[in-house]
Chains A and B, each alone.
Chain A
Amino acid sequence: MTRSATPKLAGYAGLSGVGLLTALVFVRPEVVALTAPFLLALAAGLALATPPKLAAGAGVERERAIEGDEVGGHVVVSSSTPVDRLDLYLRLPDGVELVDGTHPVALRLAAGESRRLDFTLRAAHWGAYVIGPLYLRARDPLGFLVWEQTAATRSDVRVYPREEVLQRIVQPRETQVSSGNEVSRRKGEGIEFADVRPWAAGDPLNRINWRASARGGELWVNESHPERNTDVIFFVDSFAEARRGREGTLDLTVRATSALADAYVGRRDRVGLISFGGILRWLAPGAGTVQLYRMVDALLDTEVILSHYWREIDVIPRRTLPPNALVIALSPLLDPRSVGALLDLHARGHDLAVFDVSPVPFTARPQGKLDAIAYDIWILRHDALRHRLQRAGIAVAEWNDDAPLQAAVEEVRAFRRYARHARV
């Protein structure tokens, strides 16, 4: 706890000193009469000042919430000495708002009294937040001295983005070996009919296609596509972002990634994450709800960090990009390094789909003629970049917050269907 004097103490002391000196010099009782009240206040204030002995803490009801949720919290403060005025201020991070309750608050505590203050917070924006610290400021009755203390209390709240429910997702070209919901292109044990072939020793009788066998005069058996799972790697571009106010392309990227990951995990697919930017972060593929939480937790910590280092995909750990995995890239296509990395991934044979999280809605068209031309050129170059990826055979869909993510997903699906036909 730190003690400090307020400007009032210096002011009153100065007034008293000047007054008494003037009274002695000019021998005027009136001067003493003008000074005495300040001297009295000073003496009374310092006499009444007692260093407070405070104990304080703050907490929240739960550590996890979804965007828009309300979370209850409380501050508990007690003192073994009387405190005439105690100011409490709990630092709330951006993205968490106070909905109900008094904050900051000034109150009075008697000796041995304990107070609990309840409040309600609203998680306005996704992210990992620290609630606190709690600042306490106590004053003596006449406000000459101030004691300040910071309570070592910090509560973590992780706010998950509110997700859009997707009806259909981007299907990968190849599947993995484990069972899942994706119909494999390969033939094997499954439900979906694939073809018929002549019977061979070891084929089970229940797979014999009796109609085809009757027509052909020999035994034919049905072949089917097995249902397999897939590996989906989310490639989040965190090199740069376009931002206006509290919303930016990175926010949309995180929301879209979260929604897509949720959809894939629901299909028993394995999902992984590569945050490709100033700091490279990754999460090896895994399946299940726990992996989804890991993904979202990793996404919450994603931030754009300025870096001029030319990073290539060689730096990505090999196990993070398994063979036959579908790589879904979410990028505002603002940084040439991320575009280069996407082209490199495609050149190396990875199954790639790109969601261009459009930076255009976050930029205003300038008023000046020259600036407006520069802005138009920038937009054209951005479009050209997207078309360059498409010409390379990569499915790219532009997406912004005005349109549902499902529309972009459908665009990617349509492109991939068309691209497959074109290749044949």
Chain B
Amino acid sequence: MLALGAIGAIVAYAGATGGRLAPLADGAGTLGLALLTVAIVLRLPAVVPWAIIVTAGGYLAGREGRALVDGWAAVVGVLLLLAAELALWSIDHDDRIRAERSLTVRRVVTLTALTAAALLVNFGLLGAAAVAAPAGFVLATAGIAAAVTAVAVVLRLARA
């Protein structure tokens, strides 16, 4: 339900911005919502990325024709990740397996940490993109990729 709520929030936001391709954005958002519902109900993890792509496509369609970078894209990206994670968690969940309570707590903590880190990275990215000229876009992307890699290396070292 939370996953569907996250996707629903994105669809609502995309619809509220009312761009040139607003009907397309609404349709894609609704389709994404439907795909995610199907994925959860029928336990099809392979469908989840398609639901995310369609929903993200709907959001981008809603942004069509706007030159300014949307600051809320950072939140939208995190919501997409949250929706995917929650949906996959729901699909993975098996009532027959009795999971210890600490497992659930740890997963919630992990998910919270992940979304917080993703939000920080996204804000960093959008901040860099706002400062940099369009010519420096590739450079900014490479910088974000380097930041992500650095986080991964730090985590790996911490784990070891």
Point out residues on A near B: beta carbons under 8 Å: 6-8, 10-12, 14-15, 18-20, 23-24, 27-41, 43-44, 46-48, 50, 82, 84-85, 87, 89, 102-108, 141-143
User: Given the complex, which residues of B lie within 8 Å of A12, measured CB to CB?
Assistant: 49, 84
User: Given the complex, which residues of B lie within 8 Å of A37, measured CB to CB?
Assistant: 77-78, 80-81, 114-115, 118, 121-122
Binds A, one of B18-26, B28-36, B143-151: B143-151
Known contacts A29-B69, A105-B98: A36-B59 contact under CB 8 Å = no
Q: How far is the CA of A39 from the CA of B150 in the complex (A)?
A: 12
User: Given the complex, which residues of A lie within 8 Å of B56, measured CB to CB?
Assistant: 19, 31, 34
Query: Contact at B117–A44, with CB atoms within 8 Å?
Result: yes
User: Given the complex, which residues of B lie within 8 Å of A104, measured CB to CB?
Assistant: 96-98
Give how many B residues have a beta carbon under 8 Å from the other chain's beta carbons.
Answer: 58
User: Given the complex, which residues of A lie within 8 Å of B80, measured CB to CB?
Assistant: 34, 37-38
How many Å from the CB of B99 to the closest CB on chain A?
4
| Residue B110, interface by CB 8 Å | yes
Q: How far is the CA of A424 from the CA of B76 in the complex (A)?
A: 102
Query: Contact at B114–A106, with CB atoms within 8 Å?
Result: no
Point out residues on B near A: beta carbons under 8 Å: 45-46, 48-49, 52-53, 56, 59-60, 63, 69-70, 73-74, 76-78, 80-81, 84-85, 88, 92, 96-100, 102-103, 106, 110, 114-115, 117-118, 121-122, 125-126, 129-130, 134, 137-138, 140-141, 144-145, 148-149, 151-153, 155-156, 159-160
Q: How far is the CA of A7 from the CA of B44 in the complex (A)?
A: 9
Query: Contact at A48–B155, with CB atoms within 8 Å?
Result: yes
Known contacts A40-B118, A48-B155: A20-B97 contact under CB 8 Å = no
Query: Contact at A30–B60, with CB atoms within 8 Å?
Result: yes
How many Å from the CB of A37 to the closest CB on chain B?
4
Q: How far is the CA of A23 from the CA of B96 in the complex (A)?
A: 42
User: Given the complex, which residues of B lie within 8 Å of A33, measured CB to CB?
Assistant: 73-74, 76-77, 122, 125-126
User: Given the complex, which residues of A lie within 8 Å of B155, measured CB to CB?
Assistant: 44, 47-48
User: Given the complex, which residues of B lie within 8 Å of A85, measured CB to CB?
Assistant: 99, 103
User: Given the complex, which residues of B lie within 8 Å of A27, measured CB to CB?
Assistant: 134, 137
How many Å from the CB of B14 to the closest CB on chain A?
11
Query: Contact at A48–B129, with CB atoms within 8 Å?
Result: no
User: What are 12 A-B contacts defined by CB distance under 8 Å?
Assistant: A7-B46, A27-B137, A35-B77, A37-B115, A41-B81, A44-B151, A47-B159, A82-B159, A104-B96, A105-B98, A106-B97, A106-B98
How many Å from the CB of A40 to the closest CB on chain B?
5
A47 partner, pick from B49, B92, B121, B156, beta carbons under 8 A: B156
How many Å from the CB of B10 to the closest CB on chain A?
10
Query: Contact at A108–B114, with CB atoms within 8 Å?
Result: no
How many Å from the CB of A163 to the closest CB on chain B?
35
